[in-house]
Structure 1
Amino acid sequence: MSIVISNGVLQVPGAQDKLRQKGRERVGFFDDYTMIDIETTGLSTYRDRITEFGAVKVRGGEVVDTYSNLVIDPKNNKVPAFITKLNGITKEKILAEGIPAEQAIHEFREFIGDDLIAGYNVNFDLNFTYDLVEKYHEPRLANDYIDVLRLARAYYPGQHNRLLDVMKRSGIAQVEQHRGLDDSLDTIKVYQDFAKYFSPEVLHKAQASIKNFDLTSKPLPIWQLGRFNPISNKKILLANDLELDLTDVNLMINNLSGEAQDELAFDTNYVIVNDRNFFSKDELNTQIKELQHSGSKVKKLTETFFLGMLDDWARS
């Protein structure tokens, strides 16, 4: 069976349960949705955490409700200095003004409901939110979504397209607040501005940028590899006890301009291991540590993390 990307979603036979079961991206302009934006302590869903939720409910193109809360983590509320410099959020501010994470995710999930979700580079926000929803056993976040960044890339091809860049070009604002509610409101302005000026041709270009590839049929040309392909130029070894089909995954690695290796070497970039064996002290893990101690840059990734990287690229 093939590993494919279907309408921007990675499909891996026998391992689909290892992926976040998010909705599908819808490329277009809609009158009813909930715009979301979160603030975090960093970029990694595994190491970092949400510090603020912001959302705006839109009906008929008009704002009808808002949600905003800082989030108190049950264990750690330290905020890196560079984040505080960016948005003014501190540990003291979170503890003084925030609400517990369990309460915050319940309220945020309830606020979103069954709505079409919108956001700027929204998969970042969805990944963090999805994981917190799962942690606290809220209704799964499988809503379809709009990514305003995809629209920006089609409208301003070949340019830097941070939210701030687009706001400046549109005359919407000269600064980005980096706060959940403020950025949600600004992104609505960007989205509605695009709705006024998008031609059918540009909208079709944005829609056509959604990936639909068979990753196990033949090597993808450079133009299809696109942005942020996590496998390009990486040498990857698969452990023998994976739940994934090793033949298909090795083929996929080579088709995505990576190199599937038969054995561990000093130049190996990634070793993909069974989720249960990440902390194992077996021979393979011992060899990885020895290589790392000798200067190798090899990294060990679980199947779930590896597939998550690929799904993020598939949806980009």
Structure 2
Amino acid sequence: MSIFVKNGVLHVSGAQDKLRGKGQELPNFLSDYTMLDIETTGLNPYRNHVTELGGVKVRNNEIVAQYSNLVFYPRSNKVPAFITKLNGITEQQLLDEGVPVKQAMTEFREFIGDDVIAGYNVNFDLNFLYDLTKKFKLPELNNDYVDVLRLARVYYPRQHNRLIDCIQRAGIAQEEQHHGLADSIDTKKVYDDFREHFTSELLEQAQSKVKNLDLLADELESWQLGLHNPVNHKKIVFTGDLGMASDEAMQLVNNLGGQAQTQIAHDTDYLIMGDHDFFDKNNAVWQKAQEFNQSGSKIKRWSEGFFLNLLDEWARG
């Protein structure tokens, strides 16, 4: 049994099937790839949905094909006001101009094909797209990928590195469009700008940032924990039928800067439950947690699968 990160990908003995089977990050400059960008109603792929798919297929560094469609769903197509303010997409626009989500995702998956995927903070996009391919029983989106954001963090150290920051610094544009196709094209221009100006030392530095860690060996140093470690400084209890070994799960938490507790308490932050136990309303440990919450505690309940996918996001970051 083991839990480790290899080339930025989390590996968990006994529970690997609970993780999205996304590909491996390849910080490099490729001449053939598909650059993509999506728009969504929010940040959480479990609660929010895709509103627009966009991408360009690149061969020998030139765009040879493009894809762009708004997307609508059989049920709710509500778009939060702050999203409409950001990109102009409205519910009525989705209904009037959009393509049914199954059709759009089928077309987009075919458009991507076996290409290496590129994008800006592309893991965000891949989570939504991976879940849609799984939902509609399309070929698994396990393509390797290039994250242009990782290159930006090396090229512009200790600076804000949003896409808008990069396109302004490179003189590409003054505003970010927040539309799939337009942002894909702008990200390609940023990628090409990096290609022109990167040194071999900078590329090696970017590649060295991809994590390789044994998460059960020793407690991690603060620089290894990173900014988005969901475990750091959290008190966590595991319960129910877990895929991973419970003793390894507890060691994992302690090594990542958290504190594994043997039983639920008023100061517990997260209760991690086996995926099947998560839906058991009569689970005694969750009932105890709810009693603490009624007295002022703030215990959150996560399924094992949700927890491990959060850790995988940290591993890939």
What is the TM-score normalised by the length of structure 1?
0.99
User: Does the alignment pair 1:9 with 2:24?
Assistant: no
The correspondence of residues 55-134 of structure 1 with structure 2, limited to 5 A, is: 55-134=55-134
Rounded to whole Å, the distance in 2 between the matches of 1:149 and 1:53 is 19
Rounded to whole Å, the distance in 2 between the matches of 1:39 and 1:309 is 21
Q: Deviations over 1:163-204 (max 9, x none)?
A: 011111111111111100010000000000000000111110
How far does residue 282 in structure 1 lie from its aligned partner after superposition?
A: 1.8
Aligned position for 1:298: 299
Structure 1: segments with no counterpart, 5+ residues: none
The correspondence of residues 173-184 of structure 1 with structure 2, limited to 5 A, is: 173-184=173-184
Structure 2: segments with no counterpart, 5+ residues: none
Aligned position for 1:284: 285
Give the letter for the 1:213 counterpart.
L
Q: Deviations over 1:231-272 (max 9, x none)?
A: 110110000432211111111110110000111111111100
The correspondence of residues 156-175 of structure 1 with structure 2, limited to 5 A, is: 156-175=156-175
Aligned position for 2:266: 266
Aligned position for 2:308: 307
Query: RMSD value over aligned CA atoms?
Result: 0.8
Give the letter for the 2:62 counterpart.
E
Aligned position for 2:152: 152
How far does residue 117 in structure 1 lie from its aligned partner after superposition?
A: 0.3
Aligned position for 1:50: 50
Rounded to whole Å, the distance in 1 between the matches of 2:33 and 2:276 is 39
CA contact (8 A) 2:115 2:143 kept: yes
Aligned position for 2:201: 201
User: Does the alignment pair 1:39 with 2:48?
Assistant: no
CA contact (8 A) 2:18 2:305 kept: yes
Q: Deviations over 1:58-79 (max 9, x none)?
A: 0000011100001111111000
What fraction of aligned residue pairs are identical, expressed as a percent?
Answer: 58
Count of residue pairs the alignment pairs up? 316
Aligned position for 2:244: 244
Rounded to whole Å, the distance in 2 between the matches of 1:90 and 1:294 is 41
Rounded to whole Å, the distance in 1 between the matches of 2:294 and 2:109 is 44
CA contact (8 A) 2:25 2:144 kept: yes
Equivalent residue of 2:14, what SS? Answer: coil
Give the letter for the 2:299 counterpart.
V
Give the letter for the 1:128 counterpart.
F
Rounded to whole Å, the distance in 2 between the matches of 1:71 and 1:9 is 30
CA contact (8 A) 2:265 2:289 kept: no
Rounded to whole Å, the distance in 2 between the matches of 1:290 and 1:68 is 49
CA contact (8 A) 2:24 2:143 kept: yes
Give the letter for the 2:187 counterpart.
T
